[in-house]
Amino acid sequence: MGTSTPSAGHVLQRRAAGVVAHFTSLPGPHGCGDLGPAAWQFVRWLNRAGCSLWQVLPVNPVGPGDSPYQSPSAFAGSPLLVALEPLVQAGWLAAPADPPPPSARVDYGRTTPWRWAQLQAAARGFLDRATAAEQQAFDDWCHTHSAWLPDWALFAALKDAHGGQPWWAWAPALARRDPAVLAGARQTHANAVRTHTFVQWCFDAQMAALKTHAAAHGVQLMGDLPIFVAHDSADVWARPDLYWLDDQQQPTVVAGCPPDGYSPLGQRWGNPLYRWDRMAADGYAWWMARARRALDHAHLFRIDHFRGFAGYWEIPATCSTAVGGRWAPGPGAPLFKAIEQALGGLPIVAEDLGTITPDVFALRDQLGLPGMSIVHEGLIHGAAHPFMPHHHVPHGVAYTSTHDSDTVCGWWNSAAPEQRAYAAGYLGLPPDSAGPDVAHAVLRATLASVSNTALAPLQDLLGLGREHRMNQPGTADGNWGWRFNWGQVGEDVAPRLRQLLAATGRLHAVP
């Protein structure tokens, strides 16, 4: 996989370890995990375990299929993640009544409208009871985020008013953003616009507080930045000139990935593709703003589908599968140089998985970005696979598995005999070992890797099976809903993990 050298100021230059768990997976009484007490408790648990990283999924509003990777905004935060307890404490919201019943999974159909009703009530409470200082803080924050906030708040209000219809199905004057019509819409939907704006303020305040709490406990938050945006998004509606769209505002080409051994027809994701020429013409200003926004919410971030910045699979929109696509050149190093200039460094992990060609590794190494190695996948394919620990490089990130894969325990329980035999021999286990024992052995092998950074989904730490996986790519239903409860996290998990981190040189204790 090549070698890399760290870019100046990179935050992943020492041996460290952490856990992958999205905020929605946290326990809590309001239908899904959020930025409230359980998130703060999880930070303290990570500290006790000796971890210095917490990786989450994208924190933007979820899109079709409840996916955080098909968000209607690349800049807004998810209303589902706004904790209600701080709103009650501030006096803007009464104690919530009739919350969704306790559930082992997020019931988005029930939880989303219930939580939104609570946020609407809090927005009314803020309007009625905010102090002068609170109102000034709100106004100051709105001014700071004026580059993206008004477009998002109006877009979200209009989506509500149109029953969720996509923006290109609105009245033509709204879809093409006629200034006079937009001004009228802001007046007509002023209350809804203010509510969406208030919710974003609450999200940012809670995210900033959690980020500070994490840093104080020696834990860095690692976000996730999808490469593409959804067609039905405030981003495309606000700046259609930055995408390949026709006169009816429909994509002429869309994103995906080519056919391979896992998917004979490839994958047709359907996201509109960027007009990289136009983005380059203004110095990649949109991307610089997006990267800054990502660091509002995290200390560093993983950038999804990094290979698309070297070359991406361009599919004619008329094709129903990815078979008719072609490789097109990505923006390459100039984009990241612009981001580096804006951020003063590149606190980025490159998700360099999938169909990878030498130009992708060359770009990653030129930029000094760490790539990813998935030990679970290496064990499936054998000794020669680059994800096996004996092929890792120091400037890299080793994972037991990912949110898109089966859990280690789930894989083991259905693995082919030859896979079991190889993995057992490599890990020093009997072929008839129990799944949790294998998950623990894969964790040990990952932590022992020479890679500076090692991460494990919480499911692998707990030895959980296939029914606990977060996402199954290529399926539209049943994903993104996994939650844990503290009863699953035995008292021995944190000290056992801390012992492993100490033994592998990854322990960074902070009181």
In whole angstroms, what is the distance from residue 283 CA to residue 279 CA?
7
Q: What is the pLDDT of residue 2?
A: 40
**Alpha carbon 93 to chain centroid, angstroms:** 29
Q: What is the pLDDT of residue 473?
A: 86
453-457 and 396-399: which strand pairing? parallel
Q: What is the pLDDT of residue 138?
A: 98
pTM as predicted? 0.96
Residue with tokens 């991460």: 455
User: By three-state DSSP, how is residue 53 classified?
Assistant: strand
- 260 sits in the region (left: phi over 0; alpha: psi -120 to 50; else beta) called beta
- The neighbouring-strand residues paired with 326 are 314
Residues that are catalytic: 304, 351, 404
Residue with tokens 């004057």: 173
Residues 152/200, Cβ–Cβ less than 8 Å: yes
Q: What is the DSSP letter of 284?
A: T
Which residues have C-beta within 8 Å of that of residue 391, sequence separation ≥ 6? Answer: 1, 373, 378, 385
Burial 405-440 (b: 16+ CB within 10 A, else e): bbbbbbbbeebeeebbebbbebbebeeebebbebbb
* Tens digit of each residue's pLDDT (9 = 90 or more) over 402-426: 999 999 999 999 999 999 999 999 9
Whole-number Cα distances in Å, 160 to 68, 195, 202, 369, 491: 19, 12, 20, 40, 45
Those residues of the chain that have pLDDT short of 70 are 1-11, 509-511
Q: What is the pLDDT of residue 1?
A: 39
Residues 321/277, Cβ–Cβ less than 8 Å: no
* Tens digit of each residue's pLDDT (9 = 90 or more) over 136-195: 999 999 999 999 999 999 999 999 999 999 999 999 999 999 999 999 999 999 999 999
